Amino acid sequence: MRMIVFGVALATALPLLAAPPLDRLRVPDGFEISLFADKVDNARGMAWGDNGTLFVGTREKGQVYAVRDDDGDGRADSVKVIAKGLRMPVGLAFRDGALYVSAVDRIVRFDAIESRLDKPAKPVVVVSDLPDKDHHGWRYIAFGPDGKLYVPLGAPCNICDEPGFASITRMNADGSGREVVARGVRNSVGFDWNPADGKLWFTDNGRDWLGDDVPDDEINIVATTGEHFGYPYCHAGSILDPEFGAGKSCADYRAPTAKLGAHVAALGLRFYTGSQFPAEYNGDAFVALHGSWNRSKKSGYAVKRVQVVNGQVSAVTPFVEGFLDGEKTLGRPVDVIQASDGSLLISDDYANAIYRVRYVGGK
């Protein structure tokens, strides 16, 4: 286990980082995008505390940040490092005043964290026996409407069939009572519950090395606990795997509700429930496409609006674009989260920033 160091570091104490590409980012007419926080090195998963603290996880950096906008002007006043030395602490979840943090083989909890941002208490280990594999071992976590903590266990490979992986599991807040919610999930790094019917929606990254254009990344819906979504036998609802698909039928697995394109790296997904955006956005979702790493021409690198009608995806349309300049990477969106005022925040682990999108109408 890596050493965990506690303490605080103001944003001004962090190393100088590249400027976020604000002048290149494009949003729909009537919206504006601004910088909520910069110098949030390697910003990944996000979670709100009860008292307005935005907690931000990282992957390579091994740190967790607490970001505060105390004057409410839509720009962070402080960025503090509340933990260091964690193992890919991408996923964060908040409940009963405590911050839960994923760290590959374990989940730790920081109690009463918002009253201790300057001197966090020693973390409580909630779970210490998750699979100890770095490949797809960075975990997005969240509490569901049922009060359970949902934890994905990504496949420890590009394509393989290993028991105990490729699933989403839920458990009690103390780590007990584990149950597999979804099987055949290669690697989900984002999920949320549809406020209209309470069903779990999750993104899933398709496998590599079948070509530039297959298979698609997916958005899936869990209708029944324990459903199988195809991996490693069937991809994107219709493509049998050349190695593991022999003798299988894609009809035996749950098909995705939306296909997002190959290698786009679909990560954070959240439903919009606010009133700051136009009314037609309420009940839709937003998904962050982190972007391809091995495609001959880059794909993804955007935030999409997922339009929802009668519990299914009716369309996927652009929302924030401009993270690419030709084949040059300017930013890579990771997670999306709604702020208390109804604006949308977007983390970017390439530009080390968090953006804020709000509707301004005819202004």
Domain CATH number, residue 137: 2.120.10.30
Which structural domain range is residue 57 located in?
A: 22-359
**Can you give the pLDDT of all 363 residues of the chain as single tens digits?**
344 444 433 333 334 455 699 999 999 999 999 999 999 999 999 999 999 999 999 999 999 999 999 999 999 999 999 999 999 999 999 999 999 999 999 999 999 999 999 999 999 999 999 999 999 999 999 999 999 999 999 999 999 999 999 999 999 999 999 999 999 999 999 999 999 999 999 999 999 999 999 999 999 999 999 999 999 999 999 999 999 999 999 999 999 999 999 999 999 999 999 999 999 999 999 999 999 999 999 999 999 999 999 999 999 999 999 999 999 999 999 999 999 999 999 999 999 999 999 999 965
Instruction: Provide CB contacts within 8 A for 83, sequence distance 6+.
Output: 4, 5, 6, 63, 64, 89, 101, 110, 120, 123
Domain count, the chain: 1
Instruction: State whether the Cα torsion 272-278-279-280 is positive or negative.
Output: negative
Does 2 map to a domain?
A: no
Residue 360: name the closest of 274, 245, 278 by CA: 278
Does 11 map to a domain?
A: no
Does 36 map to a domain?
A: yes
Does 176 map to a domain?
A: yes
Q: How many CB atoms lie within 10 A of CB 75?
A: 13
Instruction: Determine the Cα–Cα distance for residues 71 and 56; give it in Å rounded to an integer.
Output: 19
Residue 313: name the closest of 333, 289, 286 by CA: 286
Beta carbons of 66 and 80 less than 8 angstroms apart: yes
* pLDDT of 18: 56
* pLDDT of 8: 38
* pTM, rounded to two decimals: 0.95
Beta carbons of 79 and 67 less than 8 angstroms apart: yes
